[in-house]
């Protein structure tokens, strides 16, 4: 039995499709949106549409940005010879919060997972290999400590080793099964400083 009108049900259904949002949270969000002034709701809707329209992948590192190159790739002070490979843009943001990493990034937008049908061609590995044609001294593999993250790390290592570029893996200060975006800055920093050769 439906408790709410069609429009409210539709809004709850759409909100519940977002990751980490269950039915109860979707209901709370829907009713919060309904209680917002019309202008504020319009701004929210407009922000979503503008982001969808203007945000794209950075031409270099593949993170999400609204210009051709993201601010990190444009920063001449960053060490372009050191590339940290992460699974998602949120992981990049987590390392940036430490304020200590001075290299650049490469965002894969996923990890290899044969069980989910995600292979090497389904993530941004080809773009990483193209970047390695330039002057790169080290690739730091900072994928999550999950089975998929470890599989991806080993695959990247096997791809890069023949090029002679140093490949390191972040230390295990990051708990197994933990997502980088949820880990505090001190643990991330220790993991970065304690990285090992792959």
Q: Give the model's pLDDT for residue 172.
A: 63
CATH number for the domain whose boundaries are 6-54: 1.10.8.420
Taking the C-alpha atoms of residue 75 and residue 186, their distance in angstroms, rounded to an integer, is 24
Q: Give the model's pLDDT for residue 71.
A: 95
**Where in the chain are all domains bearing CATH 3.40.1360.10?**
64-197
Q: What is the pLDDT of residues 27-69, one digit of tens each?
A: 999 999 999 999 999 999 999 999 999 999 999 999 999 999 9
pLDDT at 171 over 70: yes
Q: Give the model's pLDDT for residue 192.
A: 76
**Where in the chain are all domains bearing CATH 1.10.8.420?**
6-54
CA distances in angstroms from 62 to 10, 75, 87, 172, listed in the order given: 33, 15, 11, 26
Q: Among 3.40.50.150, 3.30.470.10, 3.40.1360.10, 3.30.830.10, what is the CATH number of 64-197? A: 3.40.1360.10
- Give me the mean pLDDT over the 104-113 stretch: 95
Lowest-pLDDT range of 3-12, 70-79, 168-177: 168-177
Instruction: Count CB-CB contacts under 10 A for residue 173.
Output: 18
Q: What is the pLDDT of residues 76-93, one digit of tens each?
A: 999 999 999 999 999 999
Taking the C-alpha atoms of residue 73 and residue 104, their distance in angstroms, rounded to an integer, is 7
Question: In angstroms, how far is the first alpha carbon of the chain from the final one?
Answer: 56
Which pTM was predicted?
Answer: 0.77
- Give me the mean pLDDT over the 165-169 stretch: 93
Taking the C-alpha atoms of residue 73 and residue 89, their distance in angstroms, rounded to an integer, is 14
Give SS3 for 56: strand
Indicate the helix (H) or strand (E) that contains 153: helix 147-160
Taking the C-alpha atoms of residue 121 and residue 104, their distance in angstroms, rounded to an integer, is 22
pLDDT band at residue 73, thresholds of 50, 70 and 90? very high
Biggest alpha carbon–alpha carbon distance for the chain? 64
């Amino acid at each position: 039995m439906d408790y709410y009108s069609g429009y409210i049900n539709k809004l709850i259904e759409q909100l519940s499709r977002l990751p980490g949002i269950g039915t109860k949270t979707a209901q709370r969000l829907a009713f919060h949106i309904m209680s917002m002034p019309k202008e504020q709701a319009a701004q929210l809707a407009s922000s979503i549409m503008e982001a969808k329209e203007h945000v794209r992948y950075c031409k270099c590192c593949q993170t999400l940005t609204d210009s051709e190159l993201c601010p990190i790739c444009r920063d001449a002070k960053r060490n372009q010879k050191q590339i940290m490979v992460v699974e998602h843009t949120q992981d990049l943001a987590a390392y940036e919060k430490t304020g200590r990493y001075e290299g650049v990034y490469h965002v894969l937008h996923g990890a290899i997972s044969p069980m989910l049908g995600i292979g090497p061609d389904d993530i941004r590995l080809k773009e990483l290999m193209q970047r390695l044609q330039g002057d790169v001294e080290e690739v730091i593999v900072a994928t999550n400590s999950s089975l998929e993250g470890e599989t991806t790390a080993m695959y990247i290592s096997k791809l890069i080793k023949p090029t002679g570029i140093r490949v390191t893996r972040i230390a295990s200060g990051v708990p197994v099964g933990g997502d980088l975006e949820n880990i505090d800055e001190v643990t991330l920093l220790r993991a970065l400083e304690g990285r090992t050769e792959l």
